[in-house]
Amino acid sequence: MEKKEDNSTENASLSDQNHQMIPSNSFFMANSIFDMPCEVDQKGSLGLIDMLNVQDFTSPSIFDLLQTPPVIPLQSQLLPSPPSTVPESSEVVNTPASPNSSSMSSSSTEAANDKQSKTVEEEEEIDQEKTKKQLKPKKKNQKRQREPRFAFMTKSEIEHLDDGYRWRKYGQKAVKNSPFPRSYYRCTSTACGVKKRVERSFEDPSIVVTTYEGTHTHPCPITPRGSFGILSENTSYGGGGGGGGCSSFTIPQVIHYQNQQHQIQQQPYFRNLAPPLSFTYANSLVPPPHQERPFYPSAAPLARDHGLLEDMLPSRILKETKEE
């Protein structure tokens, strides 16, 4: 039924990495796209995301890098974990990351996993497993808890981004108001309940919106292709080295700014793709500063923080953000 629309998906799988430069107006584009899910969200559907932070960036230099992937052994962890201290509200907290001030965070993002967030996270994971195992006999009273989620957009022909983890597709649904179907993936690792949804923006089919939910409970599997680094050395999510050596993906650092002057920075990084146009934390879970998880890789000095902002942001956007 939805097969016809799958052309895009098929194209994507061809690994025809057709990375395009993000147009200078990507900033607006990205925002408008994120508005879409927000609208839907108002309808109260399940899987919708509270678009909290949207960080956009364009980076010719990064695209260049992507075209000639560096082979730097890195590892990274996918999800930021919810800080136990952060209330789970839909309040929007602007937490754009900044290249120069990345020090705080990323780890944060994810972080919380260590001991503190363990409580919350473990519970969620356990809950998830339960629901899985007891599929039918679901608990009624218990409202299903949502894992921390974050979403970001990437301009690419490829839909299923290679983020270093192995995913198994378990569903595909047509999305209301969109000609493009949404695909559902689950991490293939046993006991790892991380999921992700991938869909194309109907406003701009060249843009892929990926939403991750949950936190990996295992190291990223090693992949032969080497890896991509992260945008900053400070980005490291955890103690490098720990796990398998996954490198393709990293959580952007999140830094709380009073004024949203800087809107860009570290984005998830894919091995087969261009960097995301924008990044958003969903579920209002903004990772707390300095928290680290095991097997998060230390970021490679792939790209320097300093000066990166300029590369990433067209002067025009920079100007605009400053004016805000």
What is the nearest approach in angstroms of DNA to the Cβ of residue 157? 16
Contact call for residues 148 and 283 (beta carbons, < 8 A):
yes
Work out which of 166, 218, 225, 304 binds DNA, going by CB under 7 A.
166
Q: Does 6 bind DNA (CB under 7 A)?
A: yes
Work out which of 23, 40, 226, 301 binds DNA, going by CB under 7 A.
40
Cα–Cα distances (Å) from 91 to 95, 97, 108, 113, in that order, read 12, 18, 19, 22
Per-residue tokens: 321: 């953000």
Q: Does 171 bind DNA (CB under 7 A)?
A: yes
Q: Does 306 bind DNA (CB under 7 A)?
A: no
Cα–Cα distances (Å) from 281 to 67, 88, 245, 307, in that order, read 27, 12, 25, 25
What is the nearest approach in angstroms of DNA to the Cβ of residue 200? 14
What is the nearest approach in angstroms of DNA to the Cβ of residue 2? 6
Contacts of the segment 86-89: beta carbons below 8 A, 24+ positions apart? 86/284, 86/285, 86/286, 86/287, 86/288, 87/284, 88/283, 88/284, 88/285, 89/284
Question: Which residues does 265 contact at the CB level (< 8 Å), separation at least 6?
Answer: 55, 57, 96, 97, 98, 99, 102, 231, 232, 252, 253, 308, 309, 312
Looking at beta carbons only, is 44 or 224 nearer to DNA? Answer: 44
Work out which of 67, 168, 290, 306 binds DNA, going by CB under 7 A.
168
Q: Does 182 bind DNA (CB under 7 A)?
A: yes
Question: Which residues does 289 contact at the CB level (< 8 Å), separation at least 6?
Answer: 104, 105, 107, 108, 254, 255
Q: Does 222 bind DNA (CB under 7 A)?
A: no
Looking at beta carbons only, is 138 or 319 nearer to DNA? Answer: 138
Looking at beta carbons only, is 180 or 296 nearer to DNA? Answer: 180
Q: Does 1 bind DNA (CB under 7 A)?
A: yes
Q: Does 191 bind DNA (CB under 7 A)?
A: no
Among 65-73, 92-100, 176-184, 255-263, the segment contacting DNA (CB under 7 A): 176-184
Which residues sit at the interface with DNA, rule CB under 7 A? 1-3, 6, 9, 40, 43-48, 131-132, 135-136, 138, 140, 143-144, 160, 166-176, 182-186, 188, 195, 197
